[in-house]
Amino acid sequence: MKTSNRLMLACEGVMTKKVRTFMLGIGVSVGTAALIFLVSLIFGAKAYVDEKVGGIRENLLNVGIKPPPPHNPQPLDDSAYRQLLQIKGETGEVVDVYRELPIAPRPYIKVKNQPANNWLKVVSVDEGLYQNNPDNPIPDFKYRHVEPVDESEITFPEADETEATEEEKDTNFIPVIVPNVFVEALTSFAGDERKSLKQFFDILQGQEPFYVLVQGKGYRCKVVAVDNTVSSWSIAVPFRYGEEWNRHQGEQFPDYKWPNYDRFVVEATDIKHLDDIKEKIAAAGYQPQPTEAQEIGIAVSRGAMYLFLLAVTFCLVIALVSAIGIFNGLSISIMEQAPRIGILRSVGATRTDISSIYLFEAAIIGIVGGIIGLVAAHLLMWGSDIALKDFLSDVTNIRDIQTLFVWSLPEAFYIRTGAVGLGVITSLLAGVGPAYRASCLNPAVVLREG
């Protein structure tokens, strides 16, 4: 018998008991809606965290000496670098290998009291370094710290991207040392755009302005001098720029001596390759060290996983309950429709035909329920977004939430199809027993009773 004909008979069966089908479908709807809602919420939370700690570059791996100094003073040198490059060639899982260079020079920068647009975000401001440094490395240079400026003291003109004139430099610019602000800024700058090292040098040489955000306020800055006495921060630059960097440093600061590399940074094409790469690095005799970013990433993923499991458990319970409901409902309707089954058998339905028809009925219940659940989930998420956004902005200072859920492809698509699919599978599974029993009914007996 044609599948379409089986489906047609299943539809007929469903149409004779619309209300019951609908009620059975509601069980599936609740499960589907709950699953979509909860999983979208969890993925939404994860997306939010990812965005906030975004660019944490989980795919970076630090490579140090093994065992770490001082036990083994063997430096990381060019041969070590070439070994790492070999891993890149072998696996294809490595984007590039960077040398982590200590930034000896501390830049002094000028800050113009002017808001600007394309900020580099500065994570921390460390003002302690210079306050405690009694030896002013450049005695004739007057500088002072960026104090957290009182907003009332500053006049913020319109954002101005133009170069400051000489005149302006004297009046509007405050020469300051913002030690770690700068380095942080440039670290993230170089981190995100490693290839524009040229720009980085330009900034360092004071040829280009850059923008920092200090305690909520943006400053347009220019480097005016560099202090090479303090070495505490390091920056990863692509190895191929190493020579350039050395030359630059040498030209600028003839006294500056380049130390051995502290470590290398290996960038994996994907975090899933990290373990593999780690193994290879360890085999080569160096020590792969997880970065902070990876640890944060792992923590976030783990947290999300717990919530995900919780949601799945919850939905499985709903699935079980609705499966029992569907099992009951189908069993009852099969008993009620026994004469119909008898008739179908008498005109030529095989046992397989009968069980297929009832499995199709179960599938229809699942699909109807799933679609209702899908619509319900969307309404629920839409409503929650509106209600909770208002609520959160009323009671907290969180205002940047666009949505609590994940709506973007492909996650949203997978979540929705997955949930509806689960509903259909649940009702199909619940339908197996009744469908089998229907196929076992003796037509002679059920026709006699009808």
Partner 1 sequence: MAIISLKNVSKIYRTAAGEQLAALDNVNLEIEEGEFVAVVGESGSGKTTLLNMIGGLDQPTEGSVLVDSHDITSAGDRELSLFRNRSIGFIFQSFHLQPLQTALANVMVPLLFADASWPEARKKSETSLGLVGLADKVNQRANQLSAGQCQRVAIARAIINSPRILLADEPTGNLDVHTGTDIINLLKQINMEQKTTVLLVTHERDVASQAQRMITIKEGLIISDAAIKAEGDENKQ
The only residue of 11, 16, 206, 355 in contact with partner 1, by rule CB under 8 A: 16
The only residue of 339, 418, 421, 433 in contact with partner 1, by rule CB under 8 A: 339
Q: For residue 277, give the nearest of 258, 292, 264, 260 by alpha carbon.
A: 264
Q: How far apart are CA 394 and CA 5, in angstroms?
A: 58
**Interface with partner 1 by CB under 8 A: which range of 98-106, 310-318, 337-345, 395-403?**
337-345
Q: For residue 435, give the nearest of 319, 336, 327 by alpha carbon.
A: 327
Q: Which is nearer to partner 1, 4 or 152 (CB)?
A: 4
Find out whether 13 and 337 touch, Cβ atoms under 8 Å: yes
Q: Any idea which residue has 């001098």 for tokens?
A: 225
Find out whether 223 and 205 touch, Cβ atoms under 8 Å: yes
In angstroms, the Cα distances linking 430 to 13, 32, 35, 314 are: 17, 16, 19, 18
Q: For residue 133, give the nearest of 114, 154, 108, 158 by alpha carbon.
A: 108
**Ordered DSSP codes for 177-194:** E-HHHHHHHHHHHHHH-T
The only residue of 171, 350, 402, 417 in contact with partner 1, by rule CB under 8 A: 350
Give which of ligand ATP, partner 1, none residue 450 binds (C-beta under 5 to 8 Å, depending on kind): partner 1
Q: Which is nearer to ligand ATP, 440 or 445 (CB)?
A: 445
Q: How far apart are CA 195 and CA 244, in angstroms?
A: 13
Contact status: 10 vs partner 1 (CB under 8 A): no
In angstroms, the Cα distances linking 128 to 145, 176, 181 are: 10, 14, 12
Q: How far apart are CA 91 and CA 393, in angstroms?
A: 49
Give which of ligand ATP, partner 1, none residue 342 binds (C-beta under 5 to 8 Å, depending on kind): partner 1
Give which of ligand ATP, partner 1, none residue 159 binds (C-beta under 5 to 8 Å, depending on kind): none
Least Å distance, CB 3 to partner 1, is: 11
**Interface with partner 1 by CB under 8 A: which range of 284-292, 323-331, 417-425, 438-446?**
438-446
What would the x/- binding string for partner 1 be over residues 352 to 371, using CB under 8 A? xx------------------
**Interface with partner 1 by CB under 8 A: which range of 76-84, 325-333, 365-373, 440-448?**
440-448
Q: How far apart are CA 448 and CA 336, in angstroms?
A: 14
Residue 353 tokens read as 């035909």
Half-sphere exposure of 304 (CA within 13 A, CB side): 18
Q: For residue 226, give the nearest of 261, 177, 260 by alpha carbon.
A: 177
Contact status: 345 vs partner 1 (CB under 8 A): yes
The only residue of 171, 207, 346, 408 in contact with partner 1, by rule CB under 8 A: 346
**Interface with partner 1 by CB under 8 A: which range of 9-17, 19-27, 276-284, 328-336?**
9-17
Contact status: 20 vs partner 1 (CB under 8 A): no
What would the x/- binding string for partner 1 be over residues 297 to 336, using CB under 8 A? ----------------------------------------
The only residue of 19, 283, 347, 398 in contact with partner 1, by rule CB under 8 A: 347
Q: For residue 405, how far is the Cα from the chain centroid?
A: 13
Q: Which is nearer to ligand ATP, 298 or 444 (CB)?
A: 444
Find out whether 104 and 231 touch, Cβ atoms under 8 Å: yes
What would the x/- binding string for partner 1 be over residues 217 to 246, using CB under 8 A? ------------------------------
Least Å distance, CB 371 to partner 1, is: 24
Contact status: 18 vs partner 1 (CB under 8 A): no
Q: Which is nearer to ligand ATP, 401 or 444 (CB)?
A: 444
Residues that bind ligand ATP (CB under 6 A): 445, 448
Q: Which is nearer to ligand ATP, 324 or 445 (CB)?
A: 445
Q: For residue 152, give the nearest of 116, 104, 113, 181 by alpha carbon.
A: 113
Q: For residue 125, give the nearest of 149, 105, 155, 153 by alpha carbon.
A: 149
Least Å distance, CB 353 to partner 1, is: 7
Note the residues at the interface with partner 1 (CB under 8 A).
1-2, 5, 8-9, 12, 15-16, 339-340, 342-353, 442-444, 447-448, 450
